[in-house]
A and B are shown apart, each in its own frame.
Chain A
Amino acid sequence: GAVVSQHPSWVICKSGTSVKIECRSLDFQATTMFWYRQFPKQSLMLMATSNEGSKATYEQGVEKDKFLINHASLTLSTLTVTSAHPEDSSFYICSARAVAGTGELFFGEGSRLTVL
């Protein structure tokens, strides 16, 4: 099946620094990727829709300047958490729907961000 790779899987950083998380579709092209955030024992909250070659669409309440999303190619989207603070600590999951087929959503393994 289709594979979505996410890197890094675990990152610890100091408060005030920026962290970049990559999401790659390894064997299919994804014009659209999605970024979710998950708090412990809670559901996945959609943060933004990443569109290849254009600006991301953010959900209400998500700070665009805090969570920078770039979708540079049909197989790569990046999420940069800028000037990270402890409250940004979370599990970030990316996903992509294959252009063809039944619309199944493929997920990365997630990236756990811990801000000290």
Chain B
Amino acid sequence: AQSVAQPEDQVNVAEGNPLTVKCTYSVSGNPYLFWYVQYPNRGLQFLLKYITGDNLVKGSYGFEAEFNKSQTSFHLKKPSALVSDSALYFCAVSADREPRTALIFGKGTTLSVSS
């Protein structure tokens, strides 16, 4: 069965500093990995995805993530954090890209960026 682990409940960084939100996954076969962000009482907004190709994926709002197959990780990063980046971040995995396959989500990591 596929699963996702986000080991940190909360990440605190100062504005302007780099940020990393960690994610590791477990899936049989090739993983399809996603990052989503959620603001209070809102749905999920797509940030980026890894399907195949370059291990470094660039996404929305300056975020990027690096796929590391040997470490089964897909950490989310941003070189310079903004206060407006404060939100709940979810990593998700799918065992395939078939439309009938749901994404399985990690528990989420709250990012808090202080000014």
- Bound together, the chains give a CA A105 to CA B91 distance in angstroms of 13
In the assembled complex, A88 has its CB within 8 A of some CB on chain B:
no
A67 on the B face (CB < 8 A): no
Chain B interface residue count, Cβ-Cβ cutoff 8 angstroms: 29
Interface-located stretch among B20-28, B37-45, B68-76, B77-85:
B37-45
Q: Are A102 and B49 neighbours in the complex by a CB distance under 8 Å?
A: yes
For the complex formed, measure the closest distance between the CB of A57 and the CB atoms of chain B, giving whole angstroms: 9
Per the 8 Å Cβ criterion, residues 64-116 of A in contact with B are 91, 93, 95, 97-99, 102-110, 112
Q: Is the CB of B49 within 8 A of A97?
A: no
- Tell me the B42-73 residues at the A interface (CB within 8 Å): 42-46, 49, 51
A6 vs B46: C-alpha distance in the bound complex, in angstroms? Answer: 17
Contact yes or no, B100 A110, CB < 8 A: no
Taking each of B97, B103, B107, B110, which has the highest tally of chain A beta carbons within 10 Å of its own beta carbon? B103
The minimal Cβ–Cβ distance linking A15 to chain B, given in whole angstroms, is 23
Are the CB atoms of B43 and A108 closer together than 8 Å? yes
15 further A-B contacts with Cβ under 8 Å, apart from A93-B43, A102-B51, A109-B42, are A6-B43, A30-B99, A36-B105, A41-B108, A43-B90, A43-B106, A43-B108, A91-B41, A93-B44, A95-B44, A95-B103, A97-B99, A103-B99, A108-B43, A112-B41
